[in-house]
Amino acid sequence: MKVSVYNAQGKKENDIELNDAVFGVPSTNALLHQVYHALEANARQAWAHTKTKDEVRGGGRKPWKQKGTGRARHGSTRSPIWKGGGVTFGPRNDRNFKQRINKKMKQLATRMALSEKATDERFLVVDGLEEIKKTKDMALLVKTLPLNGKTTLILGGEGEDLGLIVRNIPQVDLQRAIDMNVVDLLHHQYVIATKKAVDTLESRLA
């Protein structure tokens, strides 16, 4: 698998040969779907929380006697059918959304997502990206590259700190190649990687 290599000015210089074990894997939508939703579920935090009738304050006194009033019998004003009462089957902050998924499936799905990007010419390698020091220069590079104004993920290698020059550019996000996963790839249309990031991906996933 070959992809284009651009310089820091956005001009194509040559092509680079990528490892087919990482960038030439046929895609399976079912596996990508399963891994993506598992990662999203594992990152989910249960914030919404409602109280049951046992947790709502008040309601200790029986509203009226059991018999003889002609009204329906009630034992507490904090019953779910009363205003101000507890909530039945409401969201709870102790709910567990975790899904188990093994390491081989995650790695295979990552290789599939990378292969799709490379096959569709949406995976670009930029030589000298780590030498850019200003946000305006990075923004100019993003406009020059054939990204069509789409969401872009920039992958940096070990020791390549690009955070300050990327964080204020719209539709551009940064991730370390060692931490990148399926969610990062599927949330972005294009991927820009340094040569060191490509080496990291191949050593991590091959």
What is the spatial distance between Cα 64 and Cα 15, in angstroms, rounded to a whole number? Answer: 83
What is the spatial distance between Cα 87 and Cα 125, in angstroms, rounded to a whole number? Answer: 54
Stated pTM of the model = 0.81
Widest Cα–Cα separation across the chain: 92
∠ Cα 98 100 105 (to 5°): 135
Low-confidence ranges of the chain (pLDDT < 70): none
Question: How many CA atoms within 13 Å lie on the side-chain side of 39?
Answer: 20
Domain with CATH 3.40.1370.10 in the chain: 2-44+100-205
The domain 2-44+100-205: what is its CATH number? 3.40.1370.10
Q: Would you state the structure tokens that stand for residue 193, as one six-digit string?
A: 């990687």
pLDDT in tens, 60-89: 889 999 999 999 999 999 999 999 999 999
pLDDT score, position 29: 93
pLDDT score, position 22: 93
pLDDT score, position 76: 93
- According to DSSP, residue 25 is labeled P
Nearest to 126 by CA among 190, 195, 200: 195
Beta strand 12-17 with 2-6 is: antiparallel
